[in-house]
A = this chain, B = another copy of it.
Amino acid sequence: MSFLPTNPDFETRVRESFAAQNLMATLRAEITHIAPGEVTIEMPFSDEFTQQNGFVHAGITTAIADSACGYAAFTLMPATASVLSVEFKVNLLSPALGERFIARAQVLKPGRTLTVCRGDVFAVKDGTEKLIMTMLATMIAKSL
């Protein structure tokens, strides 16, 4: 699928909003890809964010998937809109075990009010990517 952004400054707006998410700095997460309808966020492993087995906690992989989905939707929204998550569903496919985690999100269906996105999270271990989580999310455009 390819999408036409309604706001030519979509990349700047995504980067500004991302920079305002303190959690992303806390996670040392960064945006590594922005295109119309697509955003990728990556973060390194850190021992501070683990669950009882030493894997990254599902809430943290959810956080980067949710932000990636939200910003993928945001790339297609008008300059007068902000974006909020309505709901998401996550399936945990494999333990979040690796040196690095990559959340790749894309818009499935854009809309004036609601945008549906898919986000996949991959763990990178010894240079190999493995799909560990998939998210299906609904985002809403709010007038500023």
Contacts and interface: CB of A to CB of B under 8 A. Distances in A.
Q: Using C-beta atoms within 8 Å of the partner chain, give the interface range for chain A.
A: 35 or more
Interface in A28-59: 47-53, 57-59
Copies of this chain, tallied across the complex: 4
Nearest to A116: B91
A17 interface: yes
A92 interface: yes
A12 interface: no
Contacts of A116: 87, 91, 93, 134
Interface of A is mostly: mixed
Given A63-B57, A87-B138, A90-B88, A21 B51 contact: yes
Interface of A: 17-18, 20-23, 26, 47-53, 57-60, 62-64, 66-67, 82, 84-94, 108-109, 113-114, 116, 118, 131, 134, 136, 138, 140
